[in-house]
Structure formats: C-alpha cells, structure tokens
Structure 1
Amino acid sequence: MTQATIHSTICKSGYTATIRPPASVTGAEKKLSEKSYGTTSSPNVTEYDHLLSLEDGGDPNDPKNLWPEPPDPGHTHGINNAKDPVETRLKQAVCSGKVTLAAAQQALVSDWTTALARLGLK
C-alpha cells in the first residue's frame, strides 16, 4: 500500500471486504496467537484484530499484523473496542488529504490511543 494507490484501495468503498481473510483462516491463527500471548478467550468478546487496520493499509494476511484484542474494560457482551473509530477517522483523514498514509500508519501502530491527537485530528 502506498500513497499513490490509496484511491484505488483504502479510499474505495468496500475495499476491505475484498481483502479480509475468512474466519476459516483466521480462526486457527487466532488460537495460535492467543497461545503465544498466554491468553484464551470467548469468540464473542475477543476480536482477532489487525494491528495496522485493513482500512489504513494493513496487510490482511501477515500473522504479525494480527492479535487477539480483548474488549474495552467494562464491556462484557460482544466485540467492542475504542480502536475502531480511530482507525476509521485516520482513513478519512488520509483519503481527504489531511494526513499522509505513512503518517497515519505510524501514528496508529505507535500508540493508537494518541494517534488522532498527535496528527491534529482531535
């Protein structure tokens, strides 16, 4: 993924659906990943998430880009995490030209909790 390809990839509606790996692939990877993290989970509360989200140009198939993300503290039913809206906001900023793809990706993987503020988007 490069700055030159964003309009035919991440900025194109429906793009992530075309590259998202199926659960039949990620299910086995999730179990191995949880084992390496020393955790176990219920599939209804833990999301097998991309560290660098697909909507921000992350590699859909690299196991190093996937991790079992627990729900936000206090959330007990279903998958819910505060990282998702940050990922969406970064994609919108990239597609509108407010920030570069590289800057958004770096901010997201460095510390997603401060990414928007560091890029002046909050």
Structure 2
Amino acid sequence: MNPRLPILIVGGVILAGVFISTHRDMIENPPQTPREACGQIMDGNYCRAAVAFNEMRQERRPQVAAVPSRPDDRRTPGVIDSRITQANISRTICNPDFIKARTPPPSWTAATTRRMADVLYPDQNPDNLVLDQLVPIALGGAPKDQRNLWLQSWAGEQNGEKKDGLETLLNRMVCSGQLTLAAAQQAVALDWIGSYDHAMTPQNLARFGLPQRWASAPKIRQQAMQQQVVLPASEPQEPVVLQAEIEPEAQGYEVPAIPIN
C-alpha cells in the first residue's frame, strides 16, 4: 500500500469536514444545477458572468419569463426591518459589511426561487427568474420575509437588473443625504417602474458612477432631466404601509412555505 494513502485519506476527511462546516446552507439546500452549485461556492457575480458568456458562445439568450413586472401587493406588500432607521444608516445600509451580512446565502435564494416558481409559476423555467426583495436590503428591507419576496424575469423590458440598478442609485442617494430612507422605501414599494423612469437620468447615474446603460428611456429622460430627487410615481398615490419584519434575527434561513392564495 502506498504509505501516502492514509495521509491523503485523513486530509480528505479534514477538508470535507471544513467544507461542511463552512457551507451548512449548501448542505441544507442542495443545489439542483451546476449554476446553483457555482453560486454557492464562489461569488455569484462570477458565476452569472460565466453562465452568460457560455450562453453567448452557444448563441443562447435568457428567455423572458411570463410573470408580472410588478408584484401582487396582496401577497407582497413590502416588509422592512424596523431597527434600520434614518438615524443609523451610516452603520447599517451605508455600510457594505452590514449589507453583506444581511444577504441570505445563495443556496437559500436558489431553493426559495425554485419553491416559489413551482407554486406560483409552474409553467416557467426557474432559470429565467430572479428572487427579489421588494424593499431591498440596501434600503432596510427584510431579507427573507415572504411578504417582501417576489419573482422577476431576468430578461425583458422590466427586468431584475433594472430594479437592482434603481436600488443601487437609491441607496447612494440616501447615503449621500439627497433622499430620506422612508422616501426611498416608498419609491420601490409603491411603483418601482415609475421610480426607475424618473430617477435613472444620465446625470444621476454619472453623479454616482453608475453605468449609463441603466438610463431610462429618452422620452422619460426629457421629462426628468433636471430632477435630482426621485418621485415615487408619475401620478400622486397614497403611501404604502410597509409592514415590519416579525421573524427573529436568530432564526435560520429556512425556505418559506409559499401559499397559493
């Protein structure tokens, strides 16, 4: 017998133990596809880029999922963490480490996406969907409360990347003092598409170093050219009553049971 074999076996057992201890979420919610496995082990951005590049090589493009571009406000009214206030934004949403710590693990996100897709959109491919927090973590939203979760299409006119861009801009505006936290939360909860059209001007994007590809359509841009503060919607509407997160922080990232009605 090779004298190194016992050492290799012991080393393998140790490495396996370390992997399990550092990836418990992956064990609890096993990946269903290589893409999910990559996202659970590495930075999800690298995995998405690799998948996109591979699809381009194979001349495939993301498909537009037949799902609403706005959430059902009865199912997803928006939920906030009441501990995050205007007074502590410098320690919370304006601190990248805080946002990273509040972000659920990729395995939970993938498993929740599959669960919601199976219940709400059984005829859609989950790979074409993205799980979104209506009020994002970067604006004090609850990370895993199902009243703050909905599924968006990755592709199409009103897609997940656009909402991510709006959330980034609003976070920068709040952290720079140009917008209050409450106003930003209302903007995404009330009408994220209308807020996108009003806020995503070339000037705002340039001011915060964000990609110009996120700019709103030209006809909307002309109306919002001089606007520096986002308006919740093109027409006056009643404020959204945002509910408070009720789950204790110590609770684990369990995949929620998604009600049909």
TM-score, scaled to structure 1: 0.80
Unaligned runs of 5+ in 1: none
Runs of 4+, deviation exceeding 4 Å = none
In the TM superposition, what is the alpha-carbon distance from 1:24 to its structure 2 partner? 2.5
Instruction: Measure, in 2, the Cα distance between the counterparts of 1:14 and 1:58.
Output: 16
Listed one character per residue, the Cα deviations across residues 25-71 of structure 1 (whole Å, up to 9, x for unaligned) are 2333222322342343233x321111111111111121221222112
1:120 and 2:229 are equivalent in the alignment: yes
User: Structure 1 counterpart of 2:166, which letter?
Assistant: V
Q: Relative contact order, CA 8 A, sep 6+: which one is greater?
A: 1
Give the corresponding residue for 1:34: 117
% same residue:
34
Give the corresponding residue for 1:50: 133
Residues 80, 58 of structure 1: CA spacing in aligned structure 2 closer, same or farther, 3 A cutoff?
Answer: closer
Pair member with larger Rg: 2
Give the corresponding residue for 1:17: 100
Unaligned runs of 5+ in 2: 1-83, 200-227, 232-261
User: Structure 1 counterpart of 2:164, which letter?
Assistant: D
User: Structure 1 counterpart of 2:125, which letter?
Assistant: S
User: Structure 1 counterpart of 2:179, which letter?
Assistant: V
Instruction: Measure, in 2, the Cα distance between the counterparts of 1:25 and 1:108.
Output: 23
Give the corresponding residue for 1:87: 167
1:111 and 2:191 are equivalent in the alignment: yes
Residues 80, 100 of structure 1: CA spacing in aligned structure 2 closer, same or farther, 3 A cutoff?
Answer: closer
Give the total of aligned pairs. 117
- Equivalent residues of 1:72, 1:82 under 8 A apart: no
Instruction: Measure, in 2, the Cα distance between the counterparts of 1:112 and 1:120.
Output: 14
- Equivalent residues of 2:131, 2:149 under 8 A apart: yes
